[in-house]
Amino acid sequence: MLGMMTLHGVDPKHYLDYVHDIDYSPVAPNPELDASLRALPGRKLIFTAGDVPHAQRVLERLGVAHHFEAIFDIVAGEYWPKPHKQIYEKLVLKHGVDPTRACMADDIVVNLKPACDMGMRTVWIRTDESVQRAEGLDLGHIHHQTDDLATWLVEWLAERKKPETGEGRGS
């Protein structure tokens, strides 16, 4: 986005309105994700390379919008895309996030590196495309991987509730 603005004079609002003028009907409600997010303690924020209206439409279709306190979008990041560290820092500052008490989930491996460097736990949401894009990359900054965030959250929360016996207290 920033490159198109700088090199070609693209109006970012016009561009984002155009690329997000799509049919959202394929995005189905996800009751499992809704239940998982309901059980998950703490604040929940969206950090997206899209814009707020697009994120809101997707969240509404999924039926999970009510779980999120705020959306930090490409506009809030001054059109710098992930994984530029300065937008992670801006997100943390703007929303008062303690990175050492936060977790970031993303489907793009490189987007999780700055979060890990700041002290966040990371969850890579694997898709066929994201697995291909990650081929040959160092995954040392990935703490958890899943292809189903809702199920992973349920399992992670159950693991956290086990009594401390030295076993099973996943992080």
Domain boundaries along the sequence of the chain: 2-161
| Angle at CA of residue 140, ends 89 and 163, nearest 5° | 90
Strand partners, 45: 70
User: In this predicted model, what pLDDT tens digit does every residue of 19-71 receive, in sequence order?
Assistant: 999 999 999 999 999 999 999 999 999 999 999 999 999 999 999 999 999 99
Strand partners, 123: 105, 144
Nearest to 79 by CA among 7, 153, 136: 7
Token reading at 144: 């958890």
Second-level CATH architecture of 2-161: 3-Layer(aba) Sandwich (3.40)
User: In this predicted model, what pLDDT tens digit does every residue of 82-126 receive, in sequence order?
Assistant: 999 999 999 999 999 999 999 999 999 999 999 999 999 999 999
Residue 165 is predicted with a pLDDT of 57
Q: What is the pTM of this model?
A: 0.89
Element spanning 131, H or E = helix 128-134
Dist CA 78 CA 81 (whole Å): 9
